[in-house]
Amino acid sequence: MALKPRPAIITIMGHVDHGKTTLLDYLRKSNVVAGEAGGITQHIGAYSIKHNGKDITFIDTPGHAAFNKMRERGAKVTDIVILVVAANDGVKPQTIESIRHIKNSNVPVVVAINKIDLIDVNPDIAKAGLAEHGLVVTDYGGDIEAVEISALKGKGIDKLLETINLIADLQEITADPDAPLEAIVIESSKDSKKGVAATVIVKNGTLSLRQDIFSDNVDGRVKKLSSATGEDLNNVTPGFAAEIIGFKDAPSVGSTVKDSSKTYHEVVSDDAEGADADDEATNKNADDGWGDIDFSGMIDQKPKLNLIIKADVEGTLEAILQTIDLESTRLISSGVGSITESDVESAVTSKALIISFHTKVSKKVLILAKNAGVKIKSYDVIYKLIEDLQKQMLKLIEPTIDEVVLGEAEIIQIFEMNGEKIAGSKVKTGEIKKTDLFHLKRGDEIISDPTVKNMMHGKEDITQAKVKTEFGITFKNKKLDFQVGDVIVAYKVEDEE
């Protein structure tokens, strides 16, 4: 066995909308952003590029906070992290979350301060914000390299790649292509046409066509290997990514793929075997910790939201499941792939709502669900799905959480000023304060829980508006879809012991 240099594996992290996907888009010269619902990266992808004769492999982790689990696993795979921070926005909640994962993973980090092409931006604000959270860049006397870039226009990208190569050289990243196979699952999915697909990055050994493989309890044979650009491959060496077709079922994200023809199942002690058996029995009985729980004997049983969740890929499914609250929700089943007739029948028995993310629902299944009175909710944007789920769960925790309405205002006019969308509103009842919590309602439905950026009366900034007062209001989410006739509800939450 001989160790040889391999490409560095780079994970990109950061706050949503700070430019992670735009950076990858520039690097791989293809338009990913336009094809993604809501502008949010829905799935992890892995891509290799060459800079100054050296290969570099990038993993793109989604920016939304719901993908904590995927971020953590991305950091375990990676050699270097690029933390993208927008110069015009600074450190934000997902930035702080990413910093925590970076520190836990104990890998080198390079800060890419993005959007420096915008007018009047000050990168020092981002640098100062990072220092407050323990990432001190070299300009501030620390040891973290920071590169100012414009992912949109390509400015500073060469310097960023040079910095990555320099850090990779210092790490002396190596692997043995002749060692037993060790590849990490970055994504997996089921498709009715091509079957089970798994995206992996090879860490050690060589992945080959027609190789017998296994991952956890899933095995298969490599029927097809493809690069990120769709090119057919015969072999994949350490540091590179590929899509495998040939697993019998979708392997878990983060699991390790090995060669089943090699001897991996070493003899273990009786205690270890017993522990494994106990774990297996526990897993079967627990049904992933959600299903097959007998609630019939519970005293003062609280109502629960019964759910069946289907997603197109394993990573997204895990991200959704991480947000579910055990107190208010019971997961009847979950899985990767399209909604089936069996799912509908299960929903009838359990009185469950079916959630579908990024999967097609056949006409036959829709008709069956309609006739059976089963509701199917389909989503293409992860944060919208989770936002709706959280609203439903909040309704079911009524004994501990109570909303008190403080005031209501109707949007009577919409206009723009300095490129910002303003909701001209009139207070109908109570009082609206800038610091309140808010719902945005359309009819009887809550369509968003926005955060107020500013309130104005004429040209004057105000912090509150009383009944019958007309005022303008802007929201921090610039993409918020509000209309004339929508109602802004100000409220507070009272906790009852």
Percent of the chain past pLDDT 70, that is, above it, reads 81
Q: What is the CATH number of the domain that holds 490?
A: 2.40.30.10
Same domain, 341 and 366: yes
d(CA 278, CA 438) in angstroms, rounded, equals 48
Which of 146, 175, 204 terminates a domain? The answer is 175
d(CA 63, CA 89) in angstroms, rounded, equals 15
Q: What is the CATH number of the domain that holds 75?
A: 3.40.50.300
Distances (CA, A) of 295 to 117, 255, 292, 298, 303: 58, 33, 9, 6, 10
Which of 376, 396, 416 terminates a domain? The answer is 396
Q: How far apart are the first and last CA of the chain?
A: 64
Same domain, 140 and 75: yes
d(CA 241, CA 257) in angstroms, rounded, equals 13
Closest CA to 392 of 277, 310, 307, 286: 307
Closest CA to 206 of 223, 228, 225, 232: 225
Mean pLDDT of 82-88: 93
Q: Is residue 19 part of a domain?
A: yes
d(CA 10, CA 174) in angstroms, rounded, equals 15
> Among 212-221, 225-234, 335-344, 388-397, which stretch is predicted with the lowest mean pLDDT?
388-397
The tens digit of pLDDT for each residue in 388-420 reads 777 776 666 544 445 678 889 999 999 888 888
Same domain, 490 and 413: yes
d(CA 459, CA 455) in angstroms, rounded, equals 10
For residue 91, give the DSSP letter.
Answer: S
How many separate domains does the chain show? 4
Same domain, 200 and 162: no
For residue 265, give the DSSP letter.
Answer: -
d(CA 202, CA 213) in angstroms, rounded, equals 13
Mean pLDDT of 114-134: 91
Q: Is residue 228 part of a domain?
A: yes
Mean pLDDT of 296-309: 62
Same domain, 383 and 432: no
- The predicted structure's pLDDT at residue 182: 93
The tens digit of pLDDT for each residue in 244-282 reads 999 998 888 778 899 987 644 433 333 333 434 334 333
Q: Is residue 116 part of a domain?
A: yes
- Which 3 state secondary structure label does DSSP give 78? coil
Highest mean pLDDT of the ranges 66-75, 115-124, 436-445: 115-124
User: What is the CA angle 258-312-65, rounded to 5?
Assistant: 90
Q: Is residue 289 part of a domain?
A: no
Mean pLDDT of 4-18: 88
d(CA 251, CA 224) in angstroms, rounded, equals 16
Both tokens of residue 227?
């690069």
Which of 396, 419, 453 terminates a domain? The answer is 396
- Which 3 state secondary structure label does DSSP give 195? strand
Answering whether pTM is above 0.75, one says no
Same domain, 149 and 24: yes
Same domain, 137 and 205: no
497 confidence band (pLDDT: 50, 70, 90): very low
Q: Is residue 273 part of a domain?
A: no
Same domain, 9 and 93: yes
Q: What is the CATH number of the domain that holds 309?
A: 3.40.50.10050
- The predicted structure's pLDDT at residue 494: 62
The tens digit of pLDDT for each residue in 353-387 reads 999 998 888 889 999 988 888 899 998 877 778 77
Domain of residue 365: give its range.
305-396
